[in-house]
Amino acid sequence: MEVKKSIPNVTAINAGKVTLGFLNILEFHIVFVETKKGEDSPTQRAKPRQSYIAYPLLRSAIFRPTPPTSGQQSSIRLQTRDFTFITFNFETESRARGAFECLRTYGCRLASIDKLYAFSYKAPPQERGCNGWEVYNPRAEYRRQGISDKLPDKGWRISTINKNYTFSPTYPELIVVPSSISDNVLKYAGTHRSRARIPALSYLHPVNNCSITRSSQPHVGITRKRSLQDERLVAACFSAIHLGPSASQVEITTYPESELSETEKAEDNLIASADACYDEKTGKRVVYGAQQSNLIVDARPTLNAAAMQLVGKGSENMDFYKCAKKAFLYIANIHVMRASLDQVFKALQDADISPLPPSRELLNASGWIGHIMNILDGSALIARQVGIHHSHVLIHCSDGWDRTSQLSAMAQIMLDPYYRTFEGFIVLVEKEWLAFGHNFQRRSGILGHEDWFKIQNDAMAGSTIQPGENEGQGDGDRMFRTMVSATRRFLKQPSQADEIVSDDDLESVSSNSKSSANGQRLTVLKEISPVFHQFLEATQQLVRQCPNRFEFNERFLRRLFYHTYSCQYGEFLYNSEKDRKEAQVAERTSSVWDYFLSRRDMFTNKQYDDTIDDTVRGKERLLFPNMKDIKWWHELYGRTDEEMNVTKSAVNHKDAIAAGKEFAESPKTTGEPGTLIVRVETESGAYQDNQPSTSQIEPLGVTSTASDGPSTSNSENPVINTPSPRDSEAEQRSEDQETPPAPVPSPLPVPHKSVLAGVESAHGALIPEMRPQVAKKGAPSPTIGASDESLVDGISSLASVGGSKQPSTPGSGANTPRSTGKKKADTSSYMDQEMTTIG
């Protein structure tokens, strides 16, 4: 691969460590090649250490020019999505500026997905021996679940209503629906669901035939519209029975905290309840009947669901879905998750110039761990309903491709050991994330954005970088921004500017942001969000807590996180199955699963035990998280466990609530905060867990030499299996010129086990409560009646309510002393042609 620019005598600073070397700028990566004093070029060293950074991984590049008389070197300070923090110092301002302009040019590909690395990458022989594109076959997966034309009818069928993606462009081509529902009914039901994402099967339990289905929100609106076809479809999914009118809102069984969080005790409930699942007269096992508690899970806070009624959407009126109850999970929207991760980055931002630990106060205030807990808690609720209470569950959020994917996939991991295997997890990601239309391109921002490349104000020149100083502000890049702005306006397609309401915050989003007639796309900052990142973090919690129940290891998840942003493979470049087929991704790019399957030993858990026996502790089929043991994924953040996690008892519950509340009320936060931070973990000193690879750069090409395997040479296109994964981010913005409506503030999340706050009245009207009340233990959930008029009045007053600022309480952990001890990372080499970070 041709080196576009090579700059000598560049000093790299990472974790306070200074390294001298060459900075080579390639078309798809920047490469820092370490040298020693006295070496004129990296070729003088037999196996120089190289550090690769793929451009799509960049989340911030700050150029800091300095005048020659200042005595200070000009620098470029980088942050990447995989939590790499590096500062490059240059001998002259002109060299630094030239490097920055190259970074901005290659890192800001405004509209061309087909110019990303995946379309140029040539897989090595070991990867070409695999075919990751064929690992997931939807018919085979549903056949595994017992659904096929050649098998006895289990109440479900595979529909081709979405052939050629004409029914719902964001859904998979094959969807599974109840056998009793015709395609004609589905067509009418599709008009009642956002983007025609009707309730479709995700998972069918092999023992009790209970299901997990998923959809988008219904078109209810203020007038409380209904659809007989949608009601019939949901009833068929639930094999419906009619419950009493008092069952319109779910009442979650309140187990002791330890019982809810420990796998063993949850399994005891399953075994102990087995007798109740048999009919006394016939002696046969009863699955459908009065003991069921079918559930409609709305992942959003109730306030968000109520606000969506203003634009004709909302949540189900349970008067018309008496076959089920409803639960709101209070999982925050994409904007809150993005802001939370920004706070995590802020806590870690000095990892380049300082070896000291990050701020525990900032980590606590981010609410990030609370968000992961909420996802796990909601997923466990779904898994219990299906696996223990023998009930059906329908999951949705707004569009049904973000929080819905998180909950559905995590619940299936808890329910089915197959998804804990190597191939099973791949199938799960393909099915729940890729096929069901998670917007990877929109959420990851892989095409870059001009706002991420900044020239720091020249008034700062001449001074040394200080901790916390990482926001570039200045006018030096005004011309570039003007040019980019003009390009963006040119790329817009006015004919496609039909506005839709954001899947979270009443924020106007143009459908143009997805694609245009010629396949051009733009990064929209407010559409970026770490949704898939959070799923991987939640999975890692289970992998850590249950070390012998997963066939893959933590390293597999970390590497998958990295390749979500590397753009080296084709899976994560587009927003839907339809987009990938139209772009012929399978024919034009390599599969990321080729990478993992060809290095299976590297990512296999040596402790894995595939024995399933519900009578033996630790070998049960069901798997639930221990909510008292949720910790920071320290390997992902490039830290040691001692630096990231509190080893003492969990943080006080009230302090955790206060920390989440304080973050929610920050001026930068729009929407609801993270959930209860039941345990706030901490961090300290930086460390890199990558084993240095041995590679050598030639003048006009790159030849990578594996540190732990056979070498592969390709001067035209090297195999770049880049550094260890670190972070993702998120946003969503309107491409329209109008200012989108301000987001509606939302309540502090409360664990659904305590009480479901924004309840529905007996006749189904949503009550937009700003501060959900927590019911005392044993007390029934409050039921509040309200007319349609009161609902509208309540929503109309949200703007004034949201404007009031509540006093905040400092979060816990503020006075905890920082650890300054550093622990050496695992130095096992990653893979063939592994690229490393510096430090």
pLDDT digits (tens, 9 = 90+) for 423-478: 999 999 999 999 999 999 999 999 999 999 999 865 444 444 455 544 444 444 55
User: Model confidence at 826, in pLDDT bands (50, 70, 90)?
Assistant: very low
- Give the containing element (helix H, strand E) for 509: strand 508-510
| pLDDT tens digits, one per residue of 554-569 | 999 999 999 999 999 9
What local confidence, expressed as pLDDT, does residue 643 receive? 86
CB atoms within 10 A of CB 527: 29
The answer to whether position 373 is within a domain reads: yes
Longest dimension (CA), the chain: 95
pLDDT band at 291; cut points 50, 70, 90: low
Q: Please state, in angstroms and rounded to a whole number, the distance separating the CA atoms of residues 164 and 167.
A: 8
797 in a domain, yes or no?
no
Q: Is residue 399 marked as binding?
A: yes
Q: Select, from the ranges 102-116, 374-388, 504-518, the one with the highest average predicted confidence (pLDDT).
A: 374-388
Tell me what the mean pLDDT of segment 223-249 comes to: 74
pLDDT at 184: 97
What is the predicted pLDDT for the residue at 737?
A: 33
Per-residue model confidence (pLDDT) at position 672: 32
Q: Return d(Cα 439, Cα 461) in angstroms, integer.
A: 41
pLDDT of residue 284: 46
Selected residue with higher pLDDT from 491 and 113: 113
Alpha-carbon distances, residue 8 vs 15, 63, 429 (angstroms): 22, 18, 43
pLDDT value, residue 664: 39
Residue 398 resides in a domain: yes
* DSSP-derived 3-state class of residue 56: helix
Q: Is residue 282 assigned to a domain? A: yes
Residues 53 and 699: their CA atoms lie apart, in Å, by: 19
In-domain check, residue 745: no
User: Could you give the count of Cα atoms lying within 13 Å of 561 in the half-sphere of its Cβ?
Assistant: 30
Q: Answer yes or no: is 157 a known binding residue.
A: no
Tokens linked to 438? 């998670």
Mean pLDDT of 358-379: 93
For 308, the domain range is: 132-445+530-664
Task: Give the mean pLDDT of 238-255.
Answer: 44
Active site residues: 397
156 known ligand binder: no
Q: What percent of the chain has pLDDT over 90?
A: 53
Counting the structural domains of the chain, the total is 1
401 is in an annotated binding site: yes
- Look at the block and give the residue holding tokens 């196996």: 47
Tell me: is residue 334 an annotated ligand-binding position.
yes
More confident residue, 264 or 176: 176
Is 38 annotated as a binding-site member?
no
Band of pLDDT at residue 42, cut at 50, 70 and 90: low
Measured between alpha carbons, how far is residue 778 from residues 252, 455, 515, 753 in Å? 11, 59, 52, 11
Please tell me the predicted confidence (pLDDT) of residue 350: 81
Q: What is the pLDDT of residue 25?
A: 95
Burial of 408: CB neighbours in 10 Å, binned 0-12, 13-18, 19+: buried
* Residue 807 backbone dihedrals phi, psi, to 5 degrees: -65, 140
> Residue 784 annotated as binding?
no
Q: Is residue 337 in a domain? A: yes
What value does the mean pLDDT of the chain take?
Answer: 74
pLDDT at 837: 38
pTM for the structure as a whole? 0.72
Residue 294 annotated as binding? no
Mean pLDDT along residues 253-280: 43
Residue 26 has pLDDT above 70, yes or no: yes
Residue pair 106/27 in contact (Cβ under 8 Å)? The answer is: yes
Structural tokens at position 826: 């695992």
* pLDDT tens per residue, range 483-499: 445 544 544 443 333 33
The answer to whether residue 676 scores a pLDDT higher than 50 is no
The answer to whether position 428 is within a domain reads: yes
Q: Would the annotation count 403 as a binding residue?
A: yes
Residue 517 pLDDT > 70: no
**Does residue 458 sit within a domain?**
no
Degrees (nearest 5) of the Cα angle 724, 725, 731? 155
